[in-house]
Structure 1
Amino acid sequence: MTASSTAAPDLSALARPSGGFAMLAVDQREALRAMFAEHQDTPVTDEQITAFKVEAVRALTPYASGVLLERQFALDAVLKAGVIAPGCGLIAAADHFTGDEREFVAEVRIDEDVPGAWVRSIGGVAMKLLVLWRPDEDPAGRVAMVRDFVARCRTAGLISIVEPVARASRRGPALTPEEWNAGVLAAAKELGALGQDLYKAEMPLHCEAPEDDVRRGCAALTGAIDGPWVVLSSGVPHELYPRAVELACAEGASGFLAGRAVWRQVIGATDIPGALSRYAVPRLRELGEIVDAAMAAR
């Protein structure tokens, strides 16, 4: 039986009443440490990262339909603090990152320290896997990893979220914008019909192009992906992300799973809870309203 012929999964644990997704990502690791480092001269400690994540979850999950967290810095502390709002579905990051001198995330594998049975036991409803798509690497390895991940989620009764991101060759030059954009679509064609319940996609052209071009890119993703998809925010200028969500949903996306576009302005603030309330909460509410309007228009 093919993925497209199976019954549609129940994604209601991550959806708004409109049926759309307004999900918050707080699973950043060394990239988040680097963001804090831009604003301070002292080392960024693990405790500082954890404290930020706990406060972000406390402030923002009342307005999110799902929240994505990782075990390295967040899950244990967030669960101990009891700060996930009722009705916000918990997504566990099931990806283990290895960095190198060029990239915070140079290699990814399934994290054996985040088994599906454990995720279920802590109240999780989904797991997410980041997949690096590189033009010079054999696709068989990443296809096999995605299939393995999807199977693990099914066995545990969890929603599977797959997040391919286009990257340059491991030792090659950086991708041009055109090459990167082509990689986003190539990744969707390769990995978007492997049985995942939800696909998390990079925004075509980072929304920095004429509207018709952005729409065509989003429509191409809709055509390539078997099942619902949501758009992430990395790489999209902060001021453009609401428009990105609007255009993506107009061309077939079902919402977003975003972190930086929601809380990036808060990094470096002396009063994190206050900054979350002032900047991040209004942005998340705005994005949720965009998703609801798009779903109502269908």
Structure 2
Amino acid sequence: MAVKEEKKRRLTQLSDSKGLISALAFDQRGALKKMIQKYQTKEVSPLQITELKSLVSEELTGAVSAILLDPEYGLPAAKARAAAAGLLLAYEQTGYGDTVSRLPTCLSSWSVKRLKEAGAAAVKFLLYYDADGDTAVNQQKQAYIERIGAECQAEQLPFFLEILSYDEKISDKASPEFAKLKPQKVNGAMAVFSNQRFNVDILKVEVPLNMDYVEGFTSGRLVVYSRQEAVQAFRDQEAAASLPYIYLSAGVSARRFQETLIFAYESGAKFSGVLCGRASWGDVVPIYIESGKEAARQWLQSQGRKNIDTLNTVLQQTAIPWKEKWT
């Protein structure tokens, strides 16, 4: 019970007054390097990554309940965050998911104890998981998550498990072929890791379908899911998750992410918040590279803050407190 109460106390530090998780995700490393590299010819420097993370943290964390950062480049940003914003730290290596099996890999010089000592109120780990994939591979992944869950139990830190679905035989996640499989991939993985043996406290997950293929959202593209099929996918997701879950933005636009949250709510999904990344801050990258730090700051103070405020308004209307599912 002492572990449970301490985890609950720390989850409260990451939540707003209503018990919703309105968190900013900026733990990108390899992906961020690629984003920056698109706008310059010189090699991306660690200073650029660190400075941009700190800038975003300084300007946007006053409007969120928490921020997710990485311990490799994000610790200065952790110090720059607003006093009321809680801190999650990522535990996985960047880029480990480039192989077919995508076996999980922790940061080699970090542990849950060290993340806690660095100020983390919770630990996040990203797992690539194919619910229909090779059984031996999935057993390895499940055992790995059991170890991380045990570490978090020992340190009394909440464990946020981020699950990214994929298919071992389909490389293009944006394709209609993968879209047809996505509901089972996402919801199947959530059902697996809701089991208490993993000691996961919050699931950070994708919406269970690609909204670009949903009737009424396609903008002239191929329709893969009827509106009713899309509603059912969210209902199935709710049924699959016995733990509180929050949504990741998966790089979509701010407007599309907000529309998706409303659709999820109307379909019966009882999510407890978001860990939103590029949908909130992504457009600042070219401004930072091409126009400099102060121009980036101005964008964050205006459009970046607007993105956060609009998302928070949607959350207040759609999300439920994590305590309602957390037992």
Band the TM-score falls in, shorter-chain normalisation: 0.7 to 0.9
Identity %: 21
Asked whether the 8 Å contact 2:273–2:320 carries over to 1, the reply is no
Show CA shifts across 1:205-256 (max 9, x none): 2333145444322222221122110000115344211122233345211110
Asked whether the 8 Å contact 1:230–1:253 carries over to 2, the reply is yes
* Structure 1: runs of 5+ lacking an equivalent: 1-5
* 1:266 is the counterpart of 2:284: yes
Name the structure 1 match of 2:122: 126
Q: 1:257 is paired with a residue of what secondary structure?
A: strand
1:236-255 matched pairs, under 5 angstroms: 236-250=252-266, 251-255=269-273
* 1:289 is the counterpart of 2:322: no
* 1:196 is the counterpart of 2:200: yes
The alpha carbon displacement at 1:53 in A equals 0.4
Structure 1 vs Structure 2 CA RMSD: 2.5
- Greater strand proportion: 1
Asked whether the 8 Å contact 2:7–2:156 carries over to 1, the reply is no
* Structure 2: runs of 5+ lacking an equivalent: 216-226
Aligned CA distance change for structure 1 residues 14 and 249 (closer, same or farther; 3 Å): farther
Return the alpha-carbon distance in structure 2 between the equivalents of residues 106 and 29 of structure 1: 17
Name the structure 2 match of 1:117: 113
Aligned CA distance change for structure 1 residues 8 and 240 (closer, same or farther; 3 Å): farther
Return the alpha-carbon distance in structure 1 between the equivalents of residues 300 and 191 of structure 2: 37
Return the alpha-carbon distance in structure 1 between the equivalents of residues 119 and 318 of structure 2: 30
Return the alpha-carbon distance in structure 2 between the equivalents of residues 173 and 286 of structure 1: 34
Q: 1:261 is paired with a residue of what secondary structure?
A: helix
Structure exhibiting the larger radius of gyration computed from Cα positions: 2
Aligned CA distance change for structure 1 residues 260 and 213 (closer, same or farther; 3 Å): farther
Return the alpha-carbon distance in structure 2 between the equivalents of residues 186 and 45 of structure 1: 39
Return the alpha-carbon distance in structure 1 between the equivalents of residues 6 and 201 of structure 2: 8
* 1:20 is the counterpart of 2:44: no
1:89-100 matched pairs, under 5 angstroms: 89-99=86-96
Return the alpha-carbon distance in structure 2 between the equivalents of residues 293 and 27 of structure 1: 27
Asked whether the 8 Å contact 1:54–1:83 carries over to 2, the reply is yes
Asked whether the 8 Å contact 2:57–2:77 carries over to 1, the reply is yes
Normalization by structure 1: what TM-score?
0.87
Runs of 4+ in 1 over 4 A off after TM superposition: 6-9, 295-298
After alignment, is 126-135 or 235-244 more displaced? 235-244
Asked whether the 8 Å contact 2:13–2:86 carries over to 1, the reply is yes
1:76-115 matched pairs, under 5 angstroms: 77-79=76-78, 82-99=79-96, 106-115=102-111
